[in-house]
């Protein structure tokens, strides 16, 4: 039987792996993460829109067939009405939950955290153009759509 072979290759190989991991680590935590987590710069007009936009959850929305989110198919304009408030005027708690996970690059994930209790509101600042169908989690027949468009003027 041959004696155990030793070679520089093992040592060099393992140390290369360690150095490689260090480089990945520095890149990931020093450059990649801060950059991907950085909030994009958004113009002041969009951050401070001119008028509030209210979507009301009307009384009796909990019953299937009634009106629920009013206006149901809302269109808001960036820089004018992109700060949207959902107001629960019903007697039951509701949610504003996107049908598919949707995020705004400035404000983060869209959707109410937990439920919006009767009399409470949920506010969200949109900064990007998109169209989001949403619903109420406990009452899946309550459906609405919000469309965010660029201001044309």
Partner 1 sequence: MAVSLSRRTGAVAFFYWLWDGFDRSIFTAIKFSFPARFVSPFGFLGMLTFITFIILGITGALLMFYYQPILDRAWDSVQFINDEVPFGFHMRNIHYHGSNAMVLLAVLHMYYQFFSGRYKIRNELLWVTGVILGVVTVLEAFTGYDVIFSERAELAISIAASLTTSIPVVGPLIRESALGSGFSDFVLRFYAQHVFLLPIVMLGLMAVHFPRFLVFDVPMVMAISGAILITGGVFPIDMGFKFQPTVPPGVTVPEWYLTAIYAFMRTQYDKFVTGLLWPLIFIASLLLIPFIDRYKKFSWKDRPMVTAFGITGLAQIMVTTYWGFYISPDVTIPLVERLVIDPLFFYSVMILLVPMSFGFTYMMIHMAKESERKAKLHKEKGPQKVATIHLTEKWINWLLVALLAFQVLLNIAAYNAALIGMKNISLFFIGIILLVFAGFFHIYRYGLAQAKNPPPPPPQAPALESEEKPMLPKQQPVPETSKLTEGSGKPEDKKELPSEIPTPKVKADVGFDVNRDTNIGLDDLSKP
Residues within the interface to partner 1 (CB under 8 A):
1, 3-8, 10-11, 14-15, 18-19, 21-22, 25-26, 29, 33, 37, 92-93, 114-115, 117, 137-138, 140-141
Distance in angstroms (rounded) separating the CA atoms of residues 105 and 28 = 20
- To partner 1, the closest distance from the beta carbon of 14 in angstroms equals 6
- To partner 1, the closest distance from the beta carbon of 91 in angstroms equals 10
Distance in angstroms (rounded) separating the CA atoms of residues 21 and 9 = 18
- To partner 1, the closest distance from the beta carbon of 95 in angstroms equals 9
Closest residue by Cα to residue 46 from 76, 79, 82, 74: 79
In the numeric block, the tokens 């989690």 are attached to 137
Residue nearer to partner 1 on the CB measure, 10 or 63:
10
Residue nearer to partner 1 on the CB measure, 63 or 75:
63
- To partner 1, the closest distance from the beta carbon of 21 in angstroms equals 7
Residue nearer to partner 1 on the CB measure, 21 or 45:
21
């Amino acid at each position: 039987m041959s004696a155990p072979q030793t070679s520089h290759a093992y040592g060099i190989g393992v140390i290369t792996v360690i150095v490689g991991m260090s480089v990945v680590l520095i890149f990931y935590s020093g450059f990649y993460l801060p950059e991907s987590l950085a909030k994009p710069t958004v113009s002041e007009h969009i951050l401070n829109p001119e008028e509030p936009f209210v979507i009301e959850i009307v009384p009796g929305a909990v019953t299937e067939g009634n009106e629920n989110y009013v206006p149901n198919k809302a269109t808001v304009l960036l820089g004018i009405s992109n700060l949207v408030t959902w107001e629960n005027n019903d007697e039951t708690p509701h949610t504003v939950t996107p049908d598919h996970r949707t995020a705004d690059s400035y404000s983060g994930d869209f959707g109410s955290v937990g439920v919006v209790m009767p009399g409470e509101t949920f506010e969200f600042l949109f900064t990007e153009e998109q169209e989001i169908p949403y619903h109420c989690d406990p009452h899946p027949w309550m459906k609405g759509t919000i469309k965010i468009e660029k201001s044309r003027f």
